[in-house]
Each structure stands twice: as C-alpha cells, then as structure tokens.
C-alpha cells in the first residue's frame, strides 16, 4: 500500500506529494518546490528513505504546481506527465511568472500525455486517472483504490472547491465533476488537496457549502 508524504511549498502554499511503497519506488506529484530549503526538504526525504523516483505527475499546470518540474527532471531524468489539454496552461507560465515576482525555469514537456482515464503504476501501487476539468481545462485527479486516497489537486478542498476564474475554468463543470466523479468514491476516502489540509469525501458531501 502506498504511503504519502506532503510538503507545503512556494508562496501559494501548494502541497507537493511523494507517494511510495514497500518497493521504494515513488512518484512525485505537483512539485512546487521554489526556495532552496523547499527543494532540499524533498530531495533529502527521497535520499534519506532510499526512494527511487520513477514518475513525475502534474494534476494540472498552474504555476504553483510546476515550479519544481525542471529540478525533478535535472535530478532524476523524469519528464512530467499530464493531460494534453494542460499544455497551453504550462506554456503560459513563462509569460506570467514574472508578474508574481517568481523565477521560473521552464518545465520539460511530456514524452507521453495522460489520457482521461486509465492507470499509472509504480512499485506495487496503482493510481486511477479521474478527469476533473473545471479549475483548469484538463485537470486530473489520481485515486489509489488500495489505500483509498485521492490526490485531488485544486478540485476539492476542505470546505471549498478550486477557483474557476482563471483561463479554462468553468464553475458548473467543476461542480458537476465533483458530484459525478469524486462524490461516488467511498465516504472514507481521504482527499489530499493541492492546498490546505486533507479531508474526506464523506465530510465534503455533508458539510461543503458548495453542495449544501
């Protein structure tokens, strides 16, 4: 069963995740490392636990989720994997990073893009792809059925949802995807969002004000 480690990173307080299992293979999801201490925390965790990074995944390609893509590529030779519909979002980061006063090393582009459904495997673990646009045009969530945990990106937060006022955002689409694709997961499924604390599907179905 895959274990999970979270690292809050960058001025947007984005959650970077490392998933790993007993084989010591791991995937890095949404690397937002920006400062040297943030970079060192992730790299040292991988080294101290003798992990072998075999995948770099982006739920979507807003700036706060891709700031560390180039570092991961330089250190581990991994190009990001994400849905093709996010490529334009990634390419736009170069232009708007300076508006936030951020230095951005352009991310590599995927050799292969992820589809709207299917599986990603590493070690003995498997992540199901769940296509959830609305916050961004081609957002993916990653569901580990065995561990009953969801890496949700910026779709569903504890008591909130992702913003939909950015290019490619669609409020009604986001709400529909959460209802139809996430709220059908088990109530005790733990959701690890792109920002803030984890939550559960059951808690959000009952208490999230966007669905009351």
**Domains: count for the chain:** 1
Q: Which residues contact 53 (CB under 8 A, 6 or more apart)?
A: 26, 27, 28, 46, 72, 76, 78
Q: What is the pLDDT of residues 86-140, one digit of tens each?
A: 999 999 999 999 999 999 999 999 999 999 999 999 999 999 999 999 999 999 9
Chain-centre distance for alpha carbon 138: 12
At residue 212, does pLDDT exceed 90? no
Q: What is the mean pLDDT of residues 76-92?
A: 98
Q: What percent of the chain has pLDDT over 70?
A: 100
| Three-state secondary structure call for residue 35 | coil
Q: What is the mean pLDDT of residues 188-193?
A: 98
pLDDT at 74: 98
d(CA 165, CA 172): 12
Q: What is the mean pLDDT of residues 176-185?
A: 98
pLDDT at 1: 81
The pTM of this model reads 0.98
Mean predicted lDDT score pLDDT of the chain: 98
Q: Return the beta strands (E) in 45-164 as ranges.
A: 52-57, 80-81, 119-122, 125-131, 140-144, 149-153, 156-157, 160-161
- With vertex at residue 192, the alpha carbon angle to CA 191 and CA 197, rounded to the nearest 5 degrees, is 105
pLDDT at 204: 98
pLDDT band at 143 (very low <50, low <70, confident <90, very high): very high
In the chain the first and final C-alpha atoms are separated, in Å, by 34
Q: What is the mean pLDDT of residues 55-77?
A: 98
- Domain with 51 in it: 3-211
Q: What is the DSSP letter of 76?
A: H
What CATH number should be reported for the domain holding residue 205?
A: 3.60.15.10
């Amino acid at each position: 069963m895959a274990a999970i480690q979270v690292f809050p990173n960058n001025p947007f307080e984005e959650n970077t995740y490392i998933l790993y299992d007993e084989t010591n293979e791991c995937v890095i999801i949404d690397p937002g490392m920006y400062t040297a201490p943030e970079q060192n925390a992730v790299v040292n965790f991988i080294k101290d636990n003798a992990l072998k990074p075999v995948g770099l995944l982006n739920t979507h390609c807003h700036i706060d989720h891709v700031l560390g893509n180039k570092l991961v590529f330089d250190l581990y030779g991994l190009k990001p994997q994400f849905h093709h519909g996010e490529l334009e979002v990634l390419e736009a980061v170069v232009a708007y990073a300076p508006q936030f006063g951020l230095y951005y090393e352009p991310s590599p582009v995927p050799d292969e893009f992820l589809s709207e459904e299917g599986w990603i495997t590493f070690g003995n673990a498997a992540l199901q792809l769940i296509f959830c646009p609305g916050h961004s045009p081609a957002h993916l969530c990653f569901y580990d059925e065995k561990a009953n945990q969801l890496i949700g990106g910026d779709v569903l937060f504890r008591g909130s949802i992702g913003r939909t006022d950015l290019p490619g955002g669609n409020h009604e689409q986001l709400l529909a995807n959460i209802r139809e694709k996430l709220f059908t997961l088990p109530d005790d499924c733990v959701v690890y969002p792109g920002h803030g604390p984890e939550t559960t599907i059951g808690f959000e179905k009952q208490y999230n004000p966007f669905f009351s």
